[in-house]
Amino acid sequence: MKNPMSLIKKSTCVALLAFAFAPAFAQSDIADPAFSSDGEYLSMLRSDYLWDNDFVDEAGSITYWLNEPTGTGTTNYILRVLADGTPDLTLGLFGIKALESALIENPCDLPGEENCHTTTDITKAISLPGGKFLIGGMSYESDPIFSSWFVAQYLADGTLDASFSDNGVIFGPIGKIHSVTGLGIDADGKILVLIEDYSSERSEIMRLNADGSFDDTFGIDGLSILPDFTINCNDDIKTDASGNIYLAGNNSMPGDIVRLTSDGALDMSFGDEGRVAFDTIDFHIEAFRIDDAGIVAAGEIELFVPSQFCLLRFDLDGNPDLSFSGDGHQFYIPDSITPCPNYISSAAVISEANEFYISLNENAPDHYTSPIIFKFDADGNIDLSFSELGWTWLSDAINRDIKLDADQRLIVSSEQYDALFGDHYIQIHRLLTDGTITGTEALLPCMIDEVCNGIDDNENGIVDEDLPMNVFYADLDGDSYGNPEAPAVTCALELPGYVMENTDCDDTNALINSGAEELIDGLDNNCNGLVDEGTDVHNMQVQFAIYPNPTDGILYIETNNSTEGLLTIVNATGQEVLRYKTPLTGPIIDLTSLPDGMYIVNVCYQNVCDAQLLVLSRN
């Protein structure tokens, strides 16, 4: 049983519903433009969880069932969208109505206990002629052991039908854990109710007259017990022209199709003593149909990951129809029929022409999904007349159910997720009968080639995967050489402020990189670990001449370098007494201010120097 959803709290209902049902927006050319003006209805009803039980009535309206847990129990709602895709305003504002509280007013029949059934789970719902509808499920307090199944009949306006049983509701006995797991209407308008008894691990089926009274001609006092097994109908209970009753679904054993006679007994002439049990475990029948030609069914095998989908056909005696795929069934692995991997079965419906519509959801819990809808013909082949591919898809949704209306148009009910608020919304599409889709919309996200744009183009949860990657390096000084300590990996061919070359040893100086020319500046310009190597300052020998020597005070000097250098004269104690820049403004140096003695003359260019001894004597 699925968790019930949470609707808008009453204190905020009016404020939120002011924008709750926004107009639908265009989806694609697969949609029926006559439905909600563009084929899609989006409720914008914020909730924690959506209950995926809905039906299409004879007028083409779609009704959703919503269960809201509250502090004192459960409030049940219906949301109805008319055949033209607009909310049914006869139910109330925005087409939503809270069901009458009679469902929670059944006493527990225990001493001192009254009105204890405060939690109501609606599990099944079907439409009735004239716009009426029938629901069933479980009603209980905090402990399900004090539960009872219930069946309630409503008028089209969402009020209980007082002509049905006791004020519109029938409750089962208390003391068992049991719930309604199937509903159906036979050719005489009588109501068939399947009840699963979780305590005894068995199923019971009862038949009610149209007024809600038990049909005593069915089983024992209107109730028939299915021995030794339980069955949960995913599709409605069905009957054939002879009044035989068919149940199909999953149970405690492998999936079954069970046939009862019109009086509620197992039909021992059908299959193996009244039932067709499949020889594989975890087989769930999602949809089945009975006609004069036999039985067709569609289901899912959950044993495998991803699960397999199966189409089956039987004759009216429950024997495999060997004209169908040679042995009566045909298996599909989603990876073999879908353009994208990891799809699992979600829902199925079978048309009057025994064509199968299968809806699959992508098995991708780490990101949002794209439901894909297939159509198979009566022979189990993919119908290429449907969207010219045999499949179509809806974006940004989790499929909940698919149904056909009276005109055999496909109704797709799904759930849309708002990541910003963490809320789920009801989304309904009605598709064109041929499933037409145009242009690039025919591509599922996983079929789209990933483009280097920082976006998850194929919606697989990974951005820019399987693309050639390039490594760039920061180039702060703009010299086209990057810092090896600052890499960036990207699929882009260019990255502003970055280069692919990574041999810059100083990214703050454009004169320093592995391709720079070494300069006479005391720096390692070319990043080879040496300073000023290979330059003239290392190759030259400083040469200069001084005369006369000894001198009486006037000294002549000649140098072999016209660049700026330094000339210093140091006395015998190592003290610098004179300093000149070279080249000199003239070749004469006046030493007359110095005392006689021994001096050293030094000439330096960069870090290269030469020295000569000088004697100053005036005698």
Euclidean distance between CA atoms 512 and 522, whole angstroms: 12
| DSSP-derived secondary structure letter, 13 | H
Euclidean distance between CA atoms 390 and 365, whole angstroms: 26
For the chain, give the number of residues: 619
Residue pair 257/276 in contact (Cβ under 8 Å)? The answer is yes
pLDDT score, position 92:
80
User: Which residues of the chain fall below pLDDT 70?
Assistant: 1-34, 36-53, 68-74, 100-118, 141-146, 175, 228-229, 251-255, 279-282, 303-306, 364-369, 395-397, 417-424, 433, 435-443, 520-522, 532-541, 584-586, 606-607
CB atoms within 10 A of CB 378: 17
Q: Closest Cα partner for 298 from 275, 278, 317?
A: 278
477's CB contacts (< 8 A; 6+ apart) are 504, 506, 507, 508, 509, 510
Q: Closest Cα partner for 208 from 192, 225, 196?
A: 192
Catalogue the E-assigned strands of 421-525: 423-431, 470-474, 487-490, 498-499
pLDDT score, position 437:
47
Q: Where are the domains of the chain?
A: 280-393, 465-539, 541-616
CA dihedral angle for residue 229, residue 258, residue 325, residue 402, rounded to 10 degrees: -90
Euclidean distance between CA atoms 136 and 170, whole angstroms: 9
Tokens at residue 162, please? 């007082």
pLDDT score, position 229:
66
Say which CATH architecture domain 541-616 belongs to. Sandwich (2.60)
DSSP sequence for 473-489: EE-TT-SS---TTSEEE
483-514 pLDDT tens trace: 999 999 999 999 999 999 999 999 988 888 98
Would you call 22 exposed, middle or buried from its count of C-beta atoms within 10 A (0-12, 13-18, 19+)? exposed
CB atoms within 10 A of CB 21: 22
The CA angle 385-386-389, to the nearest 5 degrees, is 85
Euclidean distance between CA atoms 318 and 325, whole angstroms: 16
220's CB contacts (< 8 A; 6+ apart) are none
Tokens at residue 284, please? 């769930």
pLDDT score, position 447:
76
Place of tokens 């679904």: 249
What is the residue type of 196?
A: E
Tokens at residue 410, please? 């496909």
